[in-house]
Amino acid sequence: PHYNTVEAEEDKCVKFESGLRPDIKQLIGFFEIRDFPTLMTKARICDEDGKAKSSYYKAMNDKRGKGLDRGKPYENKGNGSGKRKQGNGQCYKCEERGHMSYDCPKKSDKCFSCGKFGHKADACRE
């Protein structure tokens, strides 16, 4: 009998809210719902939405990560020796294939004005 009063209903709602997860409590608490069945329904919907959102982002993350080689493009997987493989990469210094910039045979600088090796743009005569 004393559980059917308005005050008892509000107390039940407050107690229920205090036991909710913080993320749901933050969303639900703002509305100050004092009808227990409504409060339970809204809390359940928030929980289901949170789970759906989480699984959506997990699926998107899994989809994005599948089939992509996260390693360096010039390393062969499973070579076992740990030695750098040459022949697949492209040097960004001389733009030739077969080596990387740290192994570039054209050790000298490339001019940004004329594109030739052996001098820099500030010393370019062309």
pLDDT tens-digit profile of 18-60? 999 999 999 999 899 999 999 999 999 999 999 999 999 988 8
Alpha-helical (H) ranges within the chain are 6-18, 22-29, 36-65
Looking at the 3D structure of the chain, how many domains does it have?
1
Is residue 26 a part of any domain in this protein? yes
Across all residues in the chain, what is the average pLDDT?
A: 80
Is residue 39 a part of any domain in this protein? yes
Percent of the chain topping pLDDT 70? 78
Average pLDDT over residues 68-94: 58
Please give the torsion angle defined by the CA atoms of residues 115, 121, 125 and 126, in that order, rounded to the nearest 10 degrees: 40
Is residue 53 a part of any domain in this protein? yes
Q: Which domain holds residue 45?
A: 2-65
* Cβ–Cβ < 8 Å for 75, 84: yes
Is residue 101 a part of any domain in this protein? no
Is residue 33 a part of any domain in this protein? yes
What SS3 class is residue 1? coil
**Would you state the pLDDT for residue 68?**
53
Is residue 77 a part of any domain in this protein? no
